[in-house]
Amino acid sequence: MEVDINGIMARLPHRYPMLLVDRVIEMVPGKSIVAIKNVTINEPFFVGHFPHQPVMPGVLIIEALAQAAAIFSFTDVDGNATLNSETTAYYLVGVDDARFRQPVVPGDQLRLEVTALRISRVMCKYDAKAVVDGKVVAEAKIMCAIRQIGE
């Protein structure tokens, strides 16, 4: 199943400059997702990180992976969006075994590959990796919590 930017925005509350997923190219509800982030020199973080040698911050690569996981988590088995961003929040609560293998620079296309390890109605754990040109550039185990706003 593929999801375009409109479907992504239906599943995530994030907007510019924090929306870090451009397209979903593959998703198996309950199992895995593959999404794309096109990295351009127009990203606001490149202004200060670093002006003469732009590098995407590792924490934002992890955030992109978490957003891909959220898209996956808020899609039912029929492919429909299930998140109401006015009443539900999705928080990144844990990052384990994070490794950054090479810099991500303008012009790279991040392939965000996330596989579910454990999913419940309140807590989800994933194996996640970011790939550029067939090479793993970052990987981590991430944990996210689903909470009703106001809890």
The active-site residue, picked from 14, 49, 101, 125, is 49
- Active site annotation includes 49: yes
Q: Cα separations (Å) of 43 from 47, 104, 106, 147? A: 8, 12, 9, 30
Classify residue 18 by its DSSP letter.
Answer: S
| 114 close to 64: Cβ distance less than 8 angstroms | no
Q: 84 by DSSP, 3-state: which? A: coil
Active site amino acids: 49
